[in-house]
Amino acid sequence: MQDPSQNPNAMPEIEQQTAPAGDAPAAEDSKASALDALEESLRQAELKAAEHHDAWLRAKAETENIRRRAQEDIAKAGKFAAEKFAGAMLPVKDSLEAALAVENQTLENLREGVELTLKQLVAAFEGASLAEENPLGQKFDPNKHQAISAIEADAEPNTVVTVLQKGYLLNERVIRPALVMVAKAKAQ
């Protein structure tokens, strides 16, 4: 389709056929004003399109920046996730090193030092939401416990009667299941 401004003869022929012969100057003025209106409308549409394109480019750039920042934050979170826990473990290490540095220790002093160090370790675990799972006397839960064997016992069947190794949960998620022995019904 040709632009009417590029072919001035296309529109006048149609106009000339429909316009009376005596109104030729008025028809030309009408055509010129219609053409001016169309050109102005086109200019406005182009400006609006350019404005929308610019807004789209800015939104796209902002989205890319947000995605990049989020990826950086995720990388930093993964890299430094254990920072708090590591900070809580440093005093435990210091206490163990101090205990080993003392010469001519008595067994009683060594035991007291180990107990204090264990308290520091338990506090570090609690601060990191690491909970101990000691299921002695509880119903066996295959999601938290690993049964090594079943033994005849006075306890109700499927009850934990021996804990061989405690389990640990991190924010209710099993890090290590407890190794247990469960009760089975006595043979009659």
Residue with tokens 């209106």: 37
Q: What own/partner pairs with CB < 8 Å and gap ≥ 24 does 2-6 have?
A: 4/35, 4/38, 5/35, 5/39
- Residues 148-173, mean pLDDT to the nearest whole number: 94
Alpha-carbon gap, residue 37 to 123, rounded angstroms: 79
Q: What own/partner pairs with CB < 8 Å and gap ≥ 24 does 98-107 have?
A: none
Global pTM reads 0.59
Assigned token pair, 121: 């370790």
pLDDT at 102: 87
Q: Is the pLDDT of residue 12 over 50?
A: no
Alpha-carbon gap, residue 148 to 140, rounded angstroms: 12
pLDDT in tens, 46-77: 999 999 999 999 999 999 999 999 999 999 98
pLDDT band per the 50, 70, 90 thresholds, residue 22: low
pLDDT in tens, 124-145: 999 999 999 999 999 999 999 9
Task: Label the pairing between strands 178-184 and 145-152.
Answer: parallel
Of 22-26, 33-37, 165-169, which range is least confident?
22-26
